[in-house]
Structure 1
Amino acid sequence: MDLLETLQNRILVADGAMGTLLYAYGADTCYEEFNLTHPDDIHAIHRFYIEAGADVIQTNTYSANYIKLAQYGLEEKVSDINKEAVRIAKQAANPSTFILGTVGGIRGHRKTEATLPEIKRTFREQIFHLLSEGVDALLLETYFDAEELFTVVDIAKKEADVPVIAQFSLVEPGVLQNGTPVAQAFKELENRGADVIGLNCRLGPHHMIQSFEEIPLPEHAYLSAYPNASLLDYEDGRVTFTNNADYFKTCAAKLVEQCVRLIGGCCGTTPAHVKAIAEGIKGLAPVTEKTVRPPKIEIAVTAQHREPPLHEIAKKRRSIIVEFDTPKTLRTERFFEGAKALHDAGIDALTMADNSLASPRISNIAIAAILKEKHGIRPLVHITCRDRNLIGLQSHLMGLAALGIDQVLAVTGDPSKIGDFPGATSVYDLSSMDLIAMIKQFNEGISYSGKSLQRKSNFSVAAAFNPNVRNLDKAVGRLERKIRSGADYFITQPVFSEGKILQVHEATKHLDAPIYLGIMPLTSYRNANFLHNEVPGITLTDEILTAMEKTQGDPLKAREESLAISRSLIDAALGYFNGIYLITPLDRYDLTVECTRYIHAKEEKARGAGIV
């Protein structure tokens, strides 16, 4: 009995969700461990689905891989969990039941820090143990990331002599998360040798059928569909699905019309849904021809930069950006006074942190809009991953694009526990690299979910760089990864050593992305001592600390020494970098104004001497 031979002439009914029936044990439970601790429960669920009409069941191994099991301290039980899952399924199966060894996606809708080589090793290990127990086919399900699914299909086709079923998960009907049309992605799966290609999870039957309407009949593969029960609902503190099993009867018939031959259910589906699927396809033969509905083509209009982006400016001439954080109170007079003074001094942009050190300030997007519209000052807005989930981040970016604010700095953000509200939740749905990639996807007119934005944004994306680390080579390696994610240029933490400036130049001179070197004037010895000892990522030299210590009790002398230190650092930086990033200490914008004037005066002098 062969799965592919059977699919030539029949539509097969697959099972439904495993986790949905185990949800009563708790959402944070490792359901795959149940193969070892609750085998009777897993056996019973398999039997429920078979008795409901399932011709095909899948092993309880969706997350039974090293990376995901490590979250529960079970990474050394990969072999036991996978092998036992197949044994339980075989014990529950009828002689005619097909058993699929399930291998779930790792990257998921939210990105993972796992590298592709780590993911490859993890898949090879799991697939080896599933095959060793004799599954009838491999089911690769719930893959949002095309690269990951293509990779595991290649591994499966090389390692396995059984059919390979490969299924994408969509956030938006008809397109992958990166905006690739499903039909195009399916063709690639077919070219890589997948025997059955399909969709599962995230979408309910309506949107899954809609997606299949745009998919041509494969030449050398069959189609599969495992829709969710419905859209998620939230009731009495629990995530639930609509109780709509009968609805699946008509939906199954519509999926058959779209040439789907393997039909099951994903999240929220139960034996009742599978019974409805079996009733819905009863008497139906596989469909071998279909009319494909052309996908709705939404051409994203390109927005135009009104000014050159900051990274392009820094490639051509000296450029100055100044950080001046928004107020912690609703008094804004001094902030706008300082912003105007800096603008008049000749800065290229005013940059504002996003609740730096996890302390709330007036929204930088609100202040940026005022600066741009009322004062003609170019804003550079920091965006932190800490304060917003994926929904909030996308909304935030759309708002910035609508306001015409196109200069942004993507940062992870200080953890909330160090700020004014240590009990607040740090979100971190994305890392800074993920956020950079998301912003660049916006520039292609595609949202994070893959849906067309109908207009391309035009963001120039800066990324953070802390050179004050022990292993500078490792930090530079991170810069290289950020460039691959889409970073256009870098802004550094403040540097307080001429030797460090030279070291940074030598370590980064191979990079094409410009670097704005951070220089922060000091306000006093007390300020210097605090920065050196208590602020992460900032290190002062003994010489600077000694010089500032000598100014204690004399504010005027402290100002003069601070500016002297800053000028010396600026002189060193301008020997290697076109971009200078001046960081305003506290609200002392007079210091960054003087530094800005010094840079311009130095440039004028150089021009007069014919040096520039």
Structure 2
Amino acid sequence: MSFLEKLQNQILIADGAMGTLLYSYGTDCCFEELNLSHPEQIQHIHKAYINAGSDVIQTNTYAANYLKLLRYGLEDSVKEINSAAVRNAKIAAANQAYVLGTIGGNRGIKPNSITNEDIKRSFREQLYCLLLEGVDGILLETFYDLEELETILTIARKETKLPIIAQVSLQEPGILQNQTPVNDALKRLEGLGADVVGLNCRLGPHHMLLTLEQIELPKNAFLSAYPNASLPTYTDGKFHYESDADYFRNSAQAFRKEGVRLLGGCCGTTPEHIKAFASELKNSVPITEKSVKLKPKKIIVEPVSAKRDDAPLHELVKEKPSVIVELDPPRKLDTTKFFEGARALKEAGIDAITLADNSLASVRISNESLGYLVKQELGMRPLIHIACRDRNIIGLQSHLMGLHTLGMHDVLAITGDPARVGDFPGASSVYDVSSFELIQMIKQLNNGLSFSGKDLGQKTAFSIAAAFNPNVRSLEKAVKRLEKKIHFGADYFISQPVFSEEKLLEVYENTKHLEAPIYIGLMPLLSSKNAEFLHNEVPGIKIADSIRESMAALNDNPELAVREGIEITKSLIDAALDLFNGIYLITPFLRYELTAELAIYSRQRASQIRGNSYAESTIY
């Protein structure tokens, strides 16, 4: 009898986790490669699940695709690994269990981390390998991104008539990370030809059952569920799960009552968990009707938005010339000079003080704390830089929610210099997301949704700046990145410092089609050594030969060198204000008196160019 024919009349018990057992045995490597190097170990685990009561087992191929094997240098072994995995499963099954070829999701919680085209190519290769070895069906599991699952399900349905199981994974009970209700998502998968639709991973029995209460029985498919054993804990450098088998036994009938016909386990589950399910449900008759606890429809109320007491910077700079100044948080705990500088910049009439996020991966006082003090004590607008380097997705969202709560709405999303260039070269660079994804996530918060798709009950009101480096060989490619950042949600741009009028004109000509405004970065040079260091050692900064020569000529006169640096910057301000509304001044070594002078000059020049209304206006 075929797999689907059996599901018509009885509940089938699937297997549990493979990686959990391999991890518990001390194997912490590419688990899929063990299909080749330790086939007897894989076969032993398969047999353990069959002996525990599994009617269905899955191949050890969850991550056996090109994209994931690339991490281990095994990208050219896709065929060998998948073929060996099917053989191992078939040897263990010995015609006592159905063998499903498993293919796992790639994108996880970062939808834009991999392109659709890369996913398609990688999927097709793995799919063909599994089909050639004669599996009884295809199991698509652990897909957080619905678009990815729909894409590959469409391909799979065209390539085979074998049964296809399509399972999504949820960050929050009841909804996918893109806010699609799980009931709607499963209907879409059923419509694309999935024979079994369901849930796996992330949730334990409790939350998975709460979700299943919201899911209708499919009309042309069956329901599946593969819960995790529990939430994992981390002890002595290892992850482990503490849920015992009795808990699974006690929940088995509840899964049956929710209409599940294929029931297995995911992370943390062992043959004991599967034996517990089998002891309660083996050969049980499935239900054919159920009442669904659909969530009551909410009265649609627009989420409360944050109230801003100022115009967003991206709107301000469109209306009139605007000057913002970067003043780095200090490396030491004495903030006296920092606040002296902040006060001087306020008197100079700047529109915002920008605070870097441990620039060059060097430890400084938190820009969030200084930003709050600047706002509360001085009444200035802080623009907070947020680097992807130092926080994972959890930390990034928490940080942004904190900024919103403190009333700081202007942020600059940047990738961040790698940890190895800073004070602690042995520290980890997190980079859970790129600046593109961070921009998109912040925009999602502005829609009242968390990174995982959960309703936050309130919209944030962030004005999102993105970084722009014009000091590259191909400005055309750099502008393409700007266009991509706009697509992801960037409201405006802040550039790396520019040191030539020719570059300013080149930037203008290449960006004048963009609607998003640009703050042009300018930084006064202090000496020839300063100029040479920036030009030769700091990524993203190039200084014109003529300027370096001018600074070198004053190498023996530090005071004149500083004045020369100021005059060069004033000349660049003149040129920039002819083309752009935004001036971004970078303060070198807390020499705030220099950027204060330049800020005053910028405002005066802007008033001469655009009229006195600008010189008289202030946001304070």
Normalised by the length of structure 1, the TM-score is 0.96
Moved more, 459-468 or 85-94: 85-94
SS in 1 for 2:589: coil
Q: How does 1:363-382 map to 2 (within 5 A)?
A: 363-382=366-385
- Deviation, 1:389, is 2.1
The code of the aligned residue for 1:3 comes to F
Q: Do the aligned partners of residues 221 and 512 (structure 1) sit closer, same or farther apart at CA in structure 2, a change above 3 Å counting? A: farther
* Residue 263 (structure 2) pairs with residue 272 (structure 1): no
- Deviation, 1:609, is 9.3
SS in 1 for 2:493: strand
- Deviation, 1:28, is 3.6
- Contact 1:111/1:430 (<8 A) preserved: no
- Deviation, 1:323, is 0.6
- Deviation, 1:470, is 1.4
- Deviation, 1:392, is 1.8
Distance in 2 of aligned mates of 1:502 and 1:479: 17
The residue that corresponds to 1:523 in the other structure is 526
Q: Do the aligned partners of residues 108 and 540 (structure 1) sit closer, same or farther apart at CA in structure 2, a change above 3 Å counting? A: same
Which residue of 452, 459, 462 maps to 1:459? Answer: 462
Distance in 2 of aligned mates of 1:243 and 1:426: 33
The residue that corresponds to 2:292 in the other structure is 292
The code of the aligned residue for 2:145 comes to D
The residue that corresponds to 1:219 in the other structure is 219
- Contact 2:349/2:600 (<8 A) preserved: yes
- Deviation, 1:218, is 2.0
Which residue of 407, 410, 428 maps to 1:407? Answer: 410
The code of the aligned residue for 2:350 comes to I
Runs of 4+ in 1 over 6 A off after TM superposition: 296-299, 609-612
SS in 2 for 1:586: helix
Q: Do the aligned partners of residues 611 and 212 (structure 1) sit closer, same or farther apart at CA in structure 2, a change above 3 Å counting? A: closer
Q: Do the aligned partners of residues 243 and 304 (structure 1) sit closer, same or farther apart at CA in structure 2, a change above 3 Å counting? A: closer
The code of the aligned residue for 2:310 comes to E
Q: How does 1:237-386 map to 2 (within 5 A)?
A: 237-282=237-282, 284-295=284-295, 300-386=303-389
The residue that corresponds to 2:185 in the other structure is 185
The residue that corresponds to 1:445 in the other structure is 448
- Deviation, 1:126, is 0.5
The residue that corresponds to 1:60 in the other structure is 60
* Residue 554 (structure 2) pairs with residue 551 (structure 1): yes
Moved more, 557-566 or 379-388: 557-566
Distance in 1 of aligned mates of 2:109 and 2:610: 53
- Contact 1:328/1:360 (<8 A) preserved: yes
* Residue 104 (structure 2) pairs with residue 104 (structure 1): yes
The residue that corresponds to 2:160 in the other structure is 160
Q: Do the aligned partners of residues 290 and 345 (structure 1) sit closer, same or farther apart at CA in structure 2, a change above 3 Å counting? A: same
The code of the aligned residue for 2:156 comes to A
Q: Do the aligned partners of residues 174 and 557 (structure 1) sit closer, same or farther apart at CA in structure 2, a change above 3 Å counting? A: same
- After superposition, the C-alpha distances for 1:279-336 in whole angstroms (9 at most, x for unaligned) are 2224632122222223377864222332221111222221211111111122212211
The residue that corresponds to 1:599 in the other structure is 602
- Deviation, 1:532, is 1.2
Distance in 1 of aligned mates of 2:431 and 2:574: 38
- After superposition, the C-alpha distances for 1:171-217 in whole angstroms (9 at most, x for unaligned) are 22112223332122222222222221111111111111111111222
Distance in 2 of aligned mates of 1:611 and 1:20: 65
The code of the aligned residue for 2:232 comes to L
SS in 1 for 2:245: coil
- Contact 2:361/2:422 (<8 A) preserved: yes
Q: Do the aligned partners of residues 4 and 146 (structure 1) sit closer, same or farther apart at CA in structure 2, a change above 3 Å counting? A: same
Q: Do the aligned partners of residues 534 and 168 (structure 1) sit closer, same or farther apart at CA in structure 2, a change above 3 Å counting? A: same
Q: Do the aligned partners of residues 297 and 596 (structure 1) sit closer, same or farther apart at CA in structure 2, a change above 3 Å counting? A: farther
The residue that corresponds to 1:510 in the other structure is 513
The residue that corresponds to 2:487 in the other structure is 484
The code of the aligned residue for 1:204 comes to G
The code of the aligned residue for 2:366 comes to S
Q: Do the aligned partners of residues 425 and 96 (structure 1) sit closer, same or farther apart at CA in structure 2, a change above 3 Å counting? A: closer
The code of the aligned residue for 2:119 comes to I
SS in 1 for 2:412: strand
Q: Do the aligned partners of residues 283 and 83 (structure 1) sit closer, same or farther apart at CA in structure 2, a change above 3 Å counting? A: closer
Q: How does 1:4-153 map to 2 (within 5 A)?
A: 4-24=4-24, 26=26, 28-95=28-95, 97-109=97-109, 113-153=113-153
Q: How does 1:559-598 map to 2 (within 5 A)?
A: 559-598=562-601
Distance in 1 of aligned mates of 2:613 and 2:289: 76
- Deviation, 1:235, is 2.6
- Contact 2:577/2:606 (<8 A) preserved: no
Distance in 2 of aligned mates of 1:556 and 1:227: 70
> What's the RMSD between the two structures over aligned residues?
2.0
* Residue 500 (structure 2) pairs with residue 493 (structure 1): no
Distance in 1 of aligned mates of 2:608 and 2:30: 68
Distance in 2 of aligned mates of 1:240 and 1:77: 30
Q: Do the aligned partners of residues 361 and 610 (structure 1) sit closer, same or farther apart at CA in structure 2, a change above 3 Å counting? A: closer
- Deviation, 1:528, is 1.3
- Contact 2:110/2:437 (<8 A) preserved: no
SS in 2 for 1:462: strand
Distance in 1 of aligned mates of 2:387 and 2:612: 44
SS in 1 for 2:590: coil
- Deviation, 1:533, is 1.7
The code of the aligned residue for 2:424 comes to F
- After superposition, the C-alpha distances for 1:245-271 in whole angstroms (9 at most, x for unaligned) are 121112221111111111000011111
The residue that corresponds to 2:539 in the other structure is 536
**Runs of 5+ in structure 1 lacking a partner?**
none
Q: How does 1:381-400 map to 2 (within 5 A)?
A: 381-400=384-403
The residue that corresponds to 2:618 in the other structure is none
Distance in 2 of aligned mates of 1:294 and 1:611: 57
Distance in 2 of aligned mates of 1:263 and 1:155: 25
Distance in 1 of aligned mates of 2:279 and 2:509: 70
The code of the aligned residue for 2:346 comes to H
Q: Do the aligned partners of residues 303 and 297 (structure 1) sit closer, same or farther apart at CA in structure 2, a change above 3 Å counting? A: farther
- Contact 1:178/1:441 (<8 A) preserved: no
Normalised by the length of structure 2, the TM-score is 0.95
Distance in 2 of aligned mates of 1:435 and 1:110: 10
- Deviation, 1:243, is 4.2
Moved more, 569-578 or 161-170: 569-578
| Percent of pairs with identical residues | 59
SS in 2 for 1:224: strand
Distance in 2 of aligned mates of 1:383 and 1:77: 39
Distance in 2 of aligned mates of 1:75 and 1:112: 21
Distance in 1 of aligned mates of 2:8 and 2:486: 48
Which residue of 415, 427, 432 maps to 2:430? Answer: 427
SS in 1 for 2:588: coil
Q: How many residues align?
A: 612
The residue that corresponds to 1:231 in the other structure is 231
Moved more, 527-536 or 21-30: 21-30
The code of the aligned residue for 1:82 comes to N
SS in 2 for 1:337: helix
